[in-house]
A and B are shown apart, each in its own frame.
Chain A
């Protein structure tokens, strides 16, 4: 038998399995993965910098557009930080509505993930089923907030839209129907041989590695790390609600699937409690345009894990600094560990199992020369000429095109 050669293949930036651009350079020996280099930064949009040039009110909508799936996560996290600096007493009802939308968002995100995971392992029926059921949640979100995505329910000092008893009934009806479906999916996940055989032992992340690499959310909980911001550092209305934090000790993709599915049931439990205990009263307090100087760190348990926002105010109507740490940034490092010594065919599902959102993650790129420790700041024209040179070396010449467009 011939000795298997070592070689490197690039996967991405146009990834065949995921819908977002990110690049993985995979070192292979035969079918076996020796190591993975992850390169982020294809989706950098400069949102943090843009936030500094807009007022707080405008930032709420900009921040909301960091991610399409967990838009409520980011806007709530930002708004919480600003409210803390301004020391606003947010009405209870507003906090309950935020919690309700947040949990509905978690349900739709987990359903979406389950469908994607089914698709990655070639179980497209699951994709069709879950995405059909997800429509019910999307309709409910549209009913409550006015939109299917980018709900725009948050404002500094409360929420923008109230809910009435007719809507409560609709939500309860949808939740009942979805709970039944979720029990069915749990049955599939636990009894169906195809799923457990495909997912067990794939993407192993032992508990100590999850802690060492700083995994968050279902990725960490699937490895037996009992951590949830909703319980550990309660925000919104979670202090008054009772729910369990789901953990699993499988430490593989199967464990993460089980955690997400069981979390759905907890979410339904929370939604029911929120609707039952929803206090009466106003839904927002008036927020000042100028936020006093100060800083705040806000944490939020997104469907994908812990989301952290840092806001620094300087007394004007614009923030001085906004920093976003999306859950995927914490989780993406674990992929390297999970893929080591596994087969290339496992790669799509292992990456999908952390429920990555690369546009959330791409905040700032720091380029370091590996040989020297010195940091270097590259100006815009320098960066441009560097990239032109790089493309020239690859055999792509933009001179003609630039002339045509009028940029010299």
Chain B
């Protein structure tokens, strides 16, 4: 590389804004097609259990809790975030969100139950 050309790059780099961001003060936006933490809509579920059948890791369990009422237990530690369950669901009862901040100190806190009363999902076993 010629020295003149190099100088131009050096000067350009000085005035460029940094490539990194100040996480967690600033957050990166995930792409639209991103497959993050799952969300379950109990009202839409018909209990066909296709998601359970297609899950490669057995991370999702659908339980019948009443007449035409279902709950989902999703193990985020087993989930590989392929979102096949979202594709398999005939009633769009599952959705992949853009949530990526899933780190927990306790593995038990990664097991989440979604019910009709608790559409946001709560930790299955409290520690």
| A321 contacts across to B, CB distance below 8 A | none
Report if A152 contacts B (CB, 8 A): yes
The stretch from B41-49, B64-72, B81-89 touching chain A is: B81-89
Interface flags, B30-65, vs A, CB<8A=1, else 0: 011111000000000000000001111000000000
Q: How far is the CA of A55 from the CA of B56 in the complex (A)?
A: 8
- Whether the Cβ atoms of B56 and A58 lie closer than 8 Å is yes
Q: How far is the CA of A144 from the CA of B87 in the complex (A)?
A: 17
Say how far B123's CB is from chain A's closest CB, in angstroms. Answer: 26
Interface flags, A51-77, vs B, CB<8A=1, else 0: 000110111011001000000000000
Q: Please judge, given known A-B contacts A152-B82, A160-B87, whether A146 and B35 are in contact too, CB under 8 Å.
A: yes
Q: Please judge, given known A-B contacts A152-B82, A152-B83, A160-B87, whether A58 and B31 are in contact too, CB under 8 Å.
A: no
| A62 contacts across to B, CB distance below 8 A | 56
- Whether the Cβ atoms of A54 and B33 lie closer than 8 Å is no
Chain B binding surface, main DSSP class = loop
Report if B80 contacts A (CB, 8 A): yes
Q: Which residues in window 102-132 of A have CB below 8 A to B?
A: none
Q: How far is the CA of A147 from the CA of B31 in the complex (A)?
A: 8
Interchain Cβ contacts within 8 Å, total number: 42
Report if A142 contacts B (CB, 8 A): yes
- Whether the Cβ atoms of B87 and A58 lie closer than 8 Å is no
Instruction: Please give the number of chain A residues whose Cβ is less than 8 angstroms from any Cβ of chain B in the complex.
Output: 19
| B53 contacts across to A, CB distance below 8 A | 55
- Whether the Cβ atoms of A142 and B54 lie closer than 8 Å is no
Report if A161 contacts B (CB, 8 A): yes
Q: How far is the CA of A61 from the CA of B79 in the complex (A)?
A: 12
User: Looking at B33, B83, B84, which has the most chain A CB atoms within 10 Å of its CB?
Assistant: B33
| B84 contacts across to A, CB distance below 8 A | 57-58, 61
Q: How far is the CA of A291 from the CA of B8 in the complex (A)?
A: 60
- Which residue from chain B places its CB closest to the CB of A153 in the assembled complex? B33
User: Looking at B55, B56, B87, which has the most chain A CB atoms within 10 Å of its CB?
Assistant: B56
Say how far B2's CB is from chain A's closest CB, in angstroms. Answer: 12
| B81 contacts across to A, CB distance below 8 A | 147
Q: Which residues in window 99-115 of B have CB below 8 A to A?
A: none
Q: How far is the CA of A142 from the CA of B32 in the complex (A)?
A: 9
Say how far A30's CB is from chain B's closest CB, in angstroms. Answer: 38
Interface residue from A54, A55, A142, A152 paired with B31 (Cβ < 8 Å): A142
Q: How far is the CA of A407 from the CA of B80 in the complex (A)?
A: 31
- Which residue from chain B places its CB closest to the CB of A163 in the assembled complex? B33
- Whether the Cβ atoms of B56 and A161 lie closer than 8 Å is no
Say how far B33's CB is from chain A's closest CB, in angstroms. Answer: 3
- Whether the Cβ atoms of B83 and A54 lie closer than 8 Å is no
Report if A155 contacts B (CB, 8 A): yes
| B56 contacts across to A, CB distance below 8 A | 54, 57-59, 61-62
Interface residue from A54, A55, A155 paired with B87 (Cβ < 8 Å): A155
| B88 contacts across to A, CB distance below 8 A | 57
| A61 contacts across to B, CB distance below 8 A | 56, 80, 82, 84
**Would you list 6 pairs from A and B whose C-beta atoms are within 8 A, ordered by A residue?**
A55-B53, A57-B54, A142-B31, A143-B33, A146-B83, A150-B82
Known: A58-B54, A58-B55, A62-B56. 8 other contacts (CB 8 A): A57-B88, A61-B82, A65-B80, A142-B34, A144-B33, A147-B34, A152-B82, A155-B87
